[in-house]
Amino acid sequence: MQEVTVGIAGAAGDGLDKSGDTLAKSCSRLGLHVYAYNCYQSIIRGGHIWLRVRIGENKVYSHGDNLNVLVALNQDSIERHAMEVEEGGAVLFNSDRLTCEPSQVKAGVQIVGLPMKKITEEVVKEHGALLPIMQNTVAMGAAAYFANVGLEEPSSVLADTFAHKGQKVIDLNVSLLKVGYEFAKANFKPVTKEWKFTHKKRCFLTGNEAIAIGAYAAGCKFYSAYPMTPASTILHWMANHANETGICVKQCEDELSVINMAIGAGIAGARSMCATAGGGFALMTEAVGMAGIMEVPVVCVEVQRGGPSTGLPTKTEQADLWQVYGASQGEFPRLIVAPRDIVDCFNTTVDVFNLADRYQLPVLLMSDLLLSEHPETVDPEVFNGNPVIDRGEIVSEWPESKGKFKRFKFTESGVSPRALPGTANTAFVSASDEQDEESILISDMFTSPATRRKIMDKRGRKIENLLKELPAPVLEGPADADLTLVCWGSTWGPVKEAAELLTAQGIKTNLLNIKYIAPFHAKEVEAILSKAKKKISVEVNYTSQMARFIKGETGISMDAHINRYDGEPMEPLYIVGHVKRILAGVALDYDVTEAEAKDMAYHYIRTHAQEKLRPTAATRESSNGHGEPTWNVELSERATGKLAARMKVGVSTGATYSFEKLAEEK
Amino acid sequence: MATVIELPVELFKGPVDPDWCPGCGDFAVLKGVQTAAAKLGITPENLLVVSGIGCSSNLPGFLHAYGIHSLHGRAVPVATGAHLANTDLKCVITGGDGDGYGIGIGHLLHAMRRNLDVTYIVMDNQIYGLTTGQTSPTTGVGQKTKSTPQGNHENPLNPLALAITAGATFVARAFSGEPKHMADTISAAIQHKGFSLVDIFSPCVTYNKVNTYPFFKERVYKLEDENWDRTDFHASLAKAFEWGDKIPLGVVYETDMPTYEDSELAFKKGALVKQSLKTDPKVWANIVEEMI
């Protein structure tokens, strides 16, 4: 399969997400598959933003490990990423401002300096002076050439993007695109062969958008939220589409209010949803149990980001399993589900609205930053706008002759038909206190142990029945594999690719992805894992939460764990490399690598040297009196390239042992 | 205006009798809510009473209507969600001073600035009763409680002044020792379009030995008897601070402002719970198209 990865790097505010969108949408419209990942920081201007767009003839399941075209919008980006570009690839930059030396790239990489001023002369004559951000469009034109996707589709995407700004703005942008494309064409070779464009139109969307449209398809009428990355884009979608969808969208004063409003709406009978990140969910937990005891259908989306506490607001992690599993005091039925990709986000959302209604329970849908924010191409046929809506057992009429309505009737299924406020003769109180069949409190004066036991049993039966109808996890890949990778959530994508790579390299590998966490298919998982020859968990967290959870439920331990907790998602080669080390009996370490030492130096000089320096070289030193090897990083002046400072970073601990300036600045 | 058919108060009699301490001010409030609903002809199925946690928050269980007995401090958001989902129901929130002015104050402020069309009745006994007598946000300075044995040294919150400045459009006070006046005040609050707050002196006979029935009986007077102009914002705000030998009861402030519901587009087609759950095919097609 032919594929190419284009990376765009710069600072926040450089507008590179829009550029990435243009390229990605163009490829998508040509019938190619796209997976994009934006690595960014919690900053509105400045910082370092690193967007990768992976394009393939077939479906791609992660942003991959390769880089073929780098569009660098500042000098930092060249220094950080030019060396990642593979042979035959290209590094694109504005040569009026930036430089890229042959020593900064691998052999066979094309250094493509775009003489912005010169090549845009004609455009400036016609349209007037350009805004700095417009150089991105020139660069995207060149990138379109290198990616071999032609000019026509990117031009049409730009026309759509700027449609609201009028023809003149469209013309300007399209001519800039053309300038970049023609310049590259006249001087360089594309990095890929000709594609076979199918022109099959696909949607290009994120997991959060998939959840939002899933909610609309499922008949969600009430959505509440408090802004929090990475859940906010669900709120934005909902707010932007409230007018046509008719969904009541409420931004609340805090997350306590968010979930309590959603539960209130659920009691009243509206399909309701809310979403937040881990920190917001921490505030919501008390109410989750209230929905449990009141037996209220409500959907709560928890988008994980790097924790603990405020943690890494714009980085991904899968470390909230304990929090979500342990949310709220006491024991109560709830569904915890973790979709694995964007299509799954849509389908799961549609499904859980039905399950929430039919089993009258809260649903906690776990996503993560990678899944929520990365856009991917999806066949539009996947999105069924007219799904089956099953509201479960609702009493719409209750003649007085039927006697007292029992909201929590002790039934065999555990589900008690519910009535919605407004129905005659079925008035009841939804209470956070324990209650009997008629919803009369048993907590204060008349606590009856038997009644308590029987209502717990009733609620418990719901979860037994729910488990029976949920599909159990299955092995993906060769049944006779030597190795089974165990994962959950968005890590499925890179694990799937890693398993295929390993199998192709002679290590027959399959995978087990866990989607339903509560209730959990303990028997089925135990049956699968007890037969697996070697089991390795792959999770974006520090403590292998899913592996521990599986052990708790099945008694089966993994043979090894692969973890990542640096804020970045799993990547196929990261997994492959770790698997090989595990199989070779080499202990895994999380030592600082040379590239990471330079990266740490970037952070250090930002705070201690006002970004006047940049790391140029790093050498490893063993006997240095620090009790561990160090990376000795050389820092040079940005302006002159003169060696200006040295710093030592511990290979094992990452400690900064020293930072010395060689010459005083004048 | 539709003709109001008064209902018998007995219709609102709950499935169980209240378990409040004999003499508790909350009995009168329960009766006040029942009387107001009966007088206004709100049928039990169209009345939704939402509370938090506390002695007074047990109220929904003691009357015949739909109820939500939610979490401590969360009555307002739960009620907001339920009310927005079904605006055809009359939504009355009930609770205590700890629930509403302590743990739940954040929600209350925002509900008031939204001017939601709901009524909030606070049974203000200036003490935490269910937890056996600790200081509350409205306990007076110097008062000894279980948690302030040396005397409370925090200034009490002024609920009426707070409500007026936060954007509530109906702000009133009542007293359990004046049940008829209270029922009338609750009726007026329910009829008011917009957020109405009724702070009710509802003495805790067990744990508050300062703010007792006699304490209030000696001090309270009715604004209605003095032809009070409830529409003057600044005068009302000043009146809200009147405390000491004379304490006003009645509607301190009322104004007519657009409600949150007035501008919510989702209600154009009626109450959310009565709308179709099916997507509009045209809207759906556009949503899919915009992602391509």
Q: What pLDDT score was predicted for residue A664?
A: 59
Instruction: Check CB contact under 8 Å for A260 and B71.
Output: yes
DSSP-assigned states of every residue in A378-444: E-GGG--SS-------EE----GGG-S--TT---SSSPPPEE-TT-TT---EEESS-B-TTS-B-SS
Contact A203 B267 (CB under 8 A): no
Half-sphere exposure of A489 (CA within 13 A, CB side): 29
**Does the pLDDT value for residue A513 go beyond 90?**
yes
Q: B207-230: per-residue pLDDT in tens?
A: 999 999 999 999 999 999 999 999
Within 8 A of B78 by CB-CB distance, chain A residues are 260-261, 263-264, 267
- Predicted pLDDT of residue A663: 65
Cα of A225 to nearest chain B Cα, Å: 12
Same fold, A204-382 and A475-583: yes
DSSP structural state of residue B224? G
pLDDT band for position A662 (50/70/90)? confident
pLDDT of residue A147: 96
CATH top class, domain A3-187: alpha beta
Residue of A nearest to B263 (CA): A248
Q: Count of residues for chain A?
A: 666
Backbone φ, ψ for residue A29 (5° rounding): -70, -25
Minimal-distance CA residue of chain A relative to B114: A252
CATH code: domain A204-382 is 3.40.50.970
CA A484 – CA A259 distance, rounded (Å): 38
Q: ipTM above 0.90?
A: yes
- For β-strands A46-56 and A3-12, DSSP reports them as antiparallel
Q: What is the pLDDT along chain B (292 residues), one digit of tens a residue?
A: 568 999 999 999 999 999 999 999 999 999 999 999 999 999 999 999 999 999 999 999 999 999 999 999 999 999 999 999 999 999 999 999 999 999 999 999 999 999 999 999 999 999 999 999 999 999 999 999 999 999 999 999 999 999 999 999 999 999 999 999 999 999 999 999 999 999 999 999 999 999 999 999 999 999 999 999 999 999 999 999 999 999 999 999 999 999 999 999 999 999 999 999 999 999 999 999 999 9
Would you say B48 and B68 are in contact if contact means Cβ atoms under 8 Å apart? yes
* Confidence band, pLDDT 50/70/90 cuts, at residue A638: confident
Domain residue limits, chain A: 3-187, 204-382, 395-449, 475-583, 594-661
pLDDT above 70 for A254: yes
Mutate which: A209, A222, A240, A257, vs B, most B CBs within 10 A:
A257
Cβ proximity of B34 and B72 under 8 Å = no
pLDDT-based confidence at residue A376 (cuts at 50, 70, 90): very high
Length of chain B in terms of residues written: 292
pLDDT above 70 as % of chain B: 99
- Closest-CA residue in chain B for A435? B61
DSSP conformation class of B268? G
CATH for A475-583, options being 3.40.50.1970, 3.10.129.10, 3.40.50.920, 3.20.20.70: 3.40.50.920
Query: Considering Cα of B62, then B67, then B71, then B72, what sign does the dihedral take?
Result: negative
Domains of chain B plus CATH, in order, are 9-263 (3.40.50.970)
User: Are the beta carbons of B51 and B57 closer than 8 angstroms?
Assistant: yes
Q: Collect all residues of chain A within an 8 Å Cβ-Cβ radius of residue B280.
A: 244
Tell if the CB–CB gap between B291 and A222 is shorter than 8 Å.
Answer: no
Mean pLDDT score, A351-361: 98
Give the chain A residue nearest B57 (alpha carbons). Answer: A431
Q: Which amino acid, B87?
A: T
Cβ-based contacts of A398 with chain B (< 8 Å): none
Say yes or no to pLDDT of A666 above 70.
Answer: no
Nearest to A253 among B61, B107, B292 (CB): B107
Contact B273, A269 (CB under 8 A): yes
Mean pLDDT of A417-432: 98
DSSP letters, A303-344, are EE-B-STT-BTTS-----HHHHHT-SSS----EEE---SHHH
What's the confidence (pLDDT) of residue A445? 65
* Model confidence at A156: pLDDT above 90: yes
Q: Pick B273's closest partner by Cβ from A205, A209, A268.
A: A268
SS3 A478: coil
